């Protein structure tokens, strides 16, 4: 479970760096300081083993990023921060659920598969986001909503397929 723990710490640090940098770039010192302090508190809550805290910390972090979008911060850095925070949240929950489970070899295999699937979904999401941020086009709201719904459905199908790798006919 050390891999998941280090993956969680790494993503927590990346989320703090990306989001704090987005705030720092626009000289929004309060947002930068709040982001860094909030991520440190998230890390400490994991050490204290608060079972309710991952969701709360992730929810507030999403609010910080949403405020950053309204302030006109770089959306790429905020998106990367949100993606890293989502990884940290998922890794935190996974670590809490499995750290006391029996069967160390089975847990190591499950841990590797979980991190691989998480990175695969992240890669697809980041690729789609970069594509969406680089292509400049004018779409109506309805068409944009349709594209978002298709993207969400596709990602959820990918997650479902990765959870149940058996054949689907």
Average pLDDT value over all residues in the chain = 78
Q: Among 42, 36, 40, which residue's Cα sits nearest to residue 56? A: 42
pLDDT tens profile 55-75 = 788 888 888 888 888 888 887
Q: Where are the alpha helices (DSSP H) in 26-74?
A: 29-48, 53-70
What percentage of the chain carries pLDDT values higher than 90?
0
pLDDT of res. 169 = 43
What pTM did the predictor assign?
0.70
pLDDT tens profile 134-152 = 777 777 777 877 877 787 7
More confident site: 121 or 41: 41
Contacts 24+ apart (CB under 8 A), 45-52: 46/8, 46/92, 46/95, 49/96, 51/96
Residue 104: pLDDT band with limits 50, 70, 90: low
CA count, 13 A, side-chain hemisphere, 7? 21
Cα 81 from chain centre: 7
| Backbone angle region of 139, left / alpha / beta, with phi > 0 → left and psi within -120 to 50 → alpha | beta
More confident site: 157 or 167: 157
pLDDT of res. 159 = 65
Measured CA to CA, the distance from residue 94 to residue 161 in angstroms comes to 19
pLDDT of res. 101 = 62
């Amino acid at each position: 479970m050390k891999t998941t723990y280090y993956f969680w710490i790494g993503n927590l640090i990346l989320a703090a760096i990306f989001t704090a940098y987005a705030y720092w770039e626009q000289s929004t010192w309060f947002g930068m300081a709040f982001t860094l302090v909030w991520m440190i508190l998230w890390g400490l809550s994991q050490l204290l083993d608060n079972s309710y805290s991952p969701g709360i910390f992730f929810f507030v972090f999403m609010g910080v990023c949403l405020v950053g979008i309204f302030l006109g911060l770089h959306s790429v850095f905020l998106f990367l921060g949100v993606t890293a925070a989502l990884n940290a949240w998922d890794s935190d929950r996974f670590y809490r659920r499995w750290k006391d489970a029996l069967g160390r070899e089975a847990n190591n295999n499950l841990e590797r598969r979980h991190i691989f699937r998480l990175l695969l979904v992240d890669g697809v999401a980041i690729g789609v986001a970069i594509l969406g941020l680089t292509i400049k086009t004018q779409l109506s709201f309805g068409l944009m909503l349709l594209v978002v719904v298709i993207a969400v459905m596709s990602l959820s199908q990918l997650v479902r397929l990765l959870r149940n790798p058996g054949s689907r006919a």
